[in-house]
Amino acid sequence: MTNTSRDSDVPPEPVVEVRHLTHRYPVGNETVGALTGVDLTVNDGEFVAVIGPSGCGKTTLLSIIAGLLSPTGGQVSVFGSDTRAARRSQALGLVTQDPGLLPWLDVASNVLLTLDITGPHDGADEYVTELLERVGISRFARYYPGQLSGGMRQRVALARALVHHPRLLLMDEPFGALDEISREEMRFELLKVWEQEQMSVVFVTHSIREAVLLADRVVVLTGQPGRVKDVIEIDLDRPRTASLEDDPRYQSLLADVRGLLVSETDRSDLVHAIPGTRR
Amino acid sequence: MKRKFQRNALILLTPVLVSTLLLAAWETWVRVRDVKEYLLPAPSAILAALLDDPGRFAEGARLSLQAAIGGLLLASLGAFILAVAMAHSRALERALYPPALALKVTPIVAVAPLFTIWFGFGLAPKVLIAAMITFFPMLVNSVVGLRSVDPRAHDFLRTINASTWQIFWRLRVPSSLPFVFAGLRISVPLSLIGAVVAEFLSGSEGIGQLILIANGDFDTPVLFGAIFVLAAMGILLTASVALVERKVLFWYQSAVSL
Ligand SMILES: Nc1ncnc2c1ncn2[C@@H]1O[C@H](COP(=O)(O)OP(=O)(O)OP(=O)(O)O)[C@@H](O)[C@H]1O
Ligand SMILES: [Mg+2]
């Protein structure tokens, strides 16, 4: 399935299994569809990117997997049980675009809060130090979120979501608000942590490059209400580096995803406007 | 550095200067126009009245302040506890809102004599009236505050399976504090009004009683003295709350601009 070394130790049970998932939100006396008949499987240690037009239900999908929202139809199992039980195992991590740090706690305390709730693990202290170092915020450990730039806050959010060694990391456009350089940095940092931690990641993004660069598979959703339009296997070597840009396979995968997305946003004119796009 | 010092000096100096000018104008006006003292005493006469028996004013201020602060604390605590219940459930909020509103719209002047009948002339009825007048703003602000939780932070905590209790203490309570302090800023002057009105109506000791007696005696300088003391008490209380707020909400200013 992927060409990482993990293939051999994929257990029979997937980390996330979504079947015929449907969700409708109540709006006034009516309901509005956010997702219809979505199937999704995330295997142990797999990195799955989800991409789709705005409003197609990506955030809804993550909320359901996280057990924050009960779907109106379909089945979801996480770690082989229902989402509430999965949540109780405290093996989930969440990073959203607007990070939602606690402004009255400094950076270190924001990260430690996770451990306060999940309970400390062996080597927690060293791991906190290592994580802060790794995401480049150790110098800012005593700063408050209000004193940091958006990029810095996002790094704190990442550290906070990783410090308890989650088995499944859910990310909702985590780098969407960052400048291009920080984005690049964060992508490779994330890959390093992921490779070391052997966790699974569901990564929602609007960036085609990001999806293809990071993921083992890219799930493309249709416009609202979202369905799975196609799943593209990204069989590029790991570890992935910036030199991928020169890899024709990478370019062709970009074009594939772009083609699927463009036809979805119903802007066929764009297909010709973007060089390298095939249909 | 020097410029900053100059600016600070200016910030302090201007209000002092303006107040001095106002008092000087007042003094001059009274002297030049020879205004009767029982109508409008000169600042110098008010000062003389204050210095004539400072202990009397100090004791009055102490008693009124006690009632105001006691009432404010009682109301804040009671309102916060009720707010927790109301923020927890919309049904409870709907059920509790009418009596809370009734408490707010009932003029305290009408209720005060009843409190005197029930609780006598001591501290208790004064505290209760100060509490009654400050209860509603504290309640409303606490409810809004407890609901003002950042949904992203809430989602994160739920994802790692934080308990309702943990979310309450770690997220809900701190999030509510800016609103609680806004409520306190509204309630400080109200609590003083409550204490003084209670003293007016029951005649129990305090600045309110001092005003009542001075009024009966046509002792306008003492009356003005009491008013100035009352104003000073208000400033003192407001400044104390602002000081605590600055310490507790150090994170808030920068958080707003997030
Ligand atoms: N609480 C809600 N109440 C009603 N409708 C909602 C609610 N949340 C989302 N929706 C609707 O459901 C659809 C899917 O929303 P969702 O936020 O999951 O989309 P998304 O793919 O994350 O969008 P974006 O890319 O803009 O973040 C949207 O059309 C949205 O209007
Ligand atoms: Mg979204």
Chain B residues within an 8 Å CB radius of A92: 159-161
E-strand stretches of chain B: none
**B132-172 confidence digits (pLDDT tens):** 999 999 999 999 999 999 999 999 999 999 999 999 999 99
Distance from the CA of A54 to the center of ligand 2, in angstroms?
Answer: 7
Under the banding of pLDDT at 50, 70 and 90, the label for residue B7 is confident
**What's the pLDDT band for B62 if we cut at 50, 70, 90?**
very high
What's the pLDDT score for residue A266? 59
Question: What pLDDT, on the 0 to 100 scale, is given for residue A276?
Answer: 47
User: Is the Cβ of A160 closer than 8 Å to some Cβ of chain B?
Assistant: yes
CA dihedral (A82, A86, A87, A92) positive or negative = negative
Tell me the three-class secondary structure of chain A, residue by residue. Answer: CCCCHHHHHCCCCCCEEEEEEEEEEEECCEEEEEEEEEEEEECCCCEEEEECCCCCCHHHHHHHHCCCCCCCEEEEEECCECHHHHHHCCCEEEEECCCCCCCCCCHHHHHHHHHHHHCCCCCHHHHHHHHHHHCCCHHHCCCCHHHCCHHHHHHHHHHHHHCCCCCEEEEECCCCCCCHHHHHHHHHHHHHHHHHHCCEEEEEECCHHHHHHHCCEEEEECCCCECEEEEEECCCCCCCCHHHHHCHHHHHHHHHHHHHHHHHCCCHHHHHHCCCCCC
Backbone dihedral region for residue B129 (phi beyond 0: left; psi -120 to 50: alpha; all else: beta): alpha
In DSSP terms, which residues pair with A26 in a beta bridge?
A31
Average pLDDT over residues A144-152: 92
In this prediction, residues B216-241 reach a mean pLDDT of 94
Report the alpha-carbon distance of residue A68 to residue A83 in Å, rounded: 9
The percent of residues above 70 in pLDDT, for chain B, comes to 97
User: Does the beta-carbon distance from A103 to B166 stay under 8 Å?
Assistant: no
pLDDT score at B2 = 65
Nearest residue, CB atoms, B159 vs list A87, A113, A145: A87
A221 Cα nearest atom in ligand 1: 21
Q: Give the pair of three-digit tokens for residue B175.
A: 């999030």
Tell me the pLDDT band of B257, cut-offs 50, 70 and 90: very low
B204 by DSSP, 3-state: which? coil
What are the chain A neighbours of B158 within 8 Å (beta carbons)? 66-68, 87
Mean pLDDT of B60-89: 95
**pLDDT, tens digit, 9 for 90 and up, residues A89-145:** 999 999 999 999 999 999 999 999 999 999 988 888 889 999 999 888 999 999 999
Q: Which of B156, B161, B174 sits opposite A104 (nearest CB)?
A: B174
A73 contact partners, CB below 8 Å, separation of at least 6: A20, A21, A22, A23
Distance A183 CA to ligand 2 centre (A): 18
> Ligand 2 center to residue B92 CA distance, Å?
33
- Cα B171 off chain centre by: 27
For chain A, the domains span 16-91+168-272, 99-165
Q: How confident is the model at residue B122 (pLDDT cuts 50, 70, 90)?
A: confident
Which chain A positions have a beta carbon within 8 Å of B154's beta carbon? 100
Which whole number is the average pLDDT over B197-217? 90
Task: List, chain by chain if needed, residues with CB within 6 Å of any ligand 1 atom.
Answer: A 25, 27, 32, 34, 54-60, 224
Query: Closest Cα to atom 7, ligand 1: which residue?
Result: A25
Q: Looking at the complex, does the CB of residue A99 fall below 8 Å from at least one CB of chain B?
A: yes
Please list every residue in chain A whose beta carbon sits closer than 8 Å to the beta carbon of residue B170: 102, 113, 116-117
Q: Which two tokens stand for residue A241?
A: 């580096």
More confident residue, A2 or A88: A88
Is A151 within 8 Å of chain B by CB?
A: no
CA dihedral sign, ordered A20, A25, A30, A35: negative
> Rounded to the nearest whole angstrom, what is the distance from the C-alpha of residue A61 to the centroid of ligand 1?
10
For residue B125 the two structure tokens come to 């009825």
Q: Residue B254 has what pLDDT?
A: 44
> pLDDT at position A11, please?
54
pLDDT digits (tens, 9 = 90+) for A209-249: 999 999 999 999 999 899 999 999 999 999 999 899 999 99
According to the model, what pLDDT value does residue B191 have? 96
Give whole-number Cα distances, A204 to A47, A171, A173, A185, A201, in Å.
11, 6, 5, 18, 10
How many beta-carbon pairs under 8 angstroms link A with B?
A: 78
* Average pLDDT rounded to a whole number, residues A182-199: 92
pLDDT score recorded for residue B108: 85
Compute the nearest-CA separation of B251 from chain A (Å): 5
Locate the ligand 1 atom nearest the alpha carbon of residue A35 and give its number.
Answer: 14
Instruction: Examine the pLDDT at A27 and tell me if it is beyond 90.
Output: yes
The chain B residue lying nearest A153, using CA atoms, is: B258
**Domain A16-91+168-272 falls in which CATH fold?**
Rossmann fold (3.40.50)
Asked if A165 reaches chain B (Cβ–Cβ under 8 Å), the answer is no
Report how far ligand 1's centroid is from the alpha carbon of A34 (Å).
6
Cα dihedral angle (B181, B187, B192, B195), rounded to 10 degrees?
-120
Q: What is the mean pLDDT of residues B177-205?
A: 92
pLDDT value of position A227: 94
User: Which among A90, A101, A147 is the nearest to B160, CB-wise?
Assistant: A90
Question: 10 Å Cβ neighbour count for A151?
Answer: 18
Instruction: Compute the distance from residue A107 Cα to the ligand 2 centre, in Å.
Output: 25
Average per-residue pLDDT for chain A:
90
Contact check, Cβ <8 Å, B160/A66:
no
Please enumerate in sequence order all residues whose Cβ is within 8 A of that of A175, keeping only pairs 6 or more positions apart, or say none: A154, A182, A183, A186, A187, A205, A210
Torsion of CA A168, A173, A176, A178, to 10 degrees: -20
Give the nearest chain A residue to B164 (CA atoms). A117
Which CATH architecture describes the domain B57-256? Orthogonal Bundle (1.10)
Nearest to B70 by CA among B112, B126, B133, B109: B126
The three-state secondary structure class of B182 is helix
- Report CA A215 to chain centroid distance, whole Å: 9
Test A144 with B251 for CB contact under 8 angstroms: yes
Among A144, A161, A164, beta carbon nearest to B254: A144
Cβ contact A96–B155 (<8 Å): yes
**pLDDT, greater one: B63 or B121:** B63
Q: Is A181 on the interface with B (CB under 8 A)?
A: no
State residue A3's pLDDT score: 45
Cα A160 from Cα A6, distance rounded (Å): 26
Confirm if A166 and A190 have CB atoms less than 8 A apart. no
Q: Identify the pLDDT of residue B203.
A: 78
Whether the predicted pLDDT of B100 surpasses 90: no
- pLDDT band for position B4 (cuts 50, 70, 90): confident
- What is the reported pLDDT for A268? 46
Model pLDDT, residue B212: 92
Amino acid A115 reads L
Q: Who surrounds ion ligand 2 at CB < 5 A?
A: A 59
**How many whole angstroms separate alpha carbon A205 and alpha carbon A220?**
11
Nearest CA to ligand 1 atom 25: A54
B236 residue type, one letter: L
Main-chain dihedrals φ then ψ at residue B120, nearest 5 degrees: 80, -155
User: Residue A96: which of B152, B160, B253 has the nearest Cβ?
Assistant: B152
The predicted structure's pLDDT at residue A229? 95
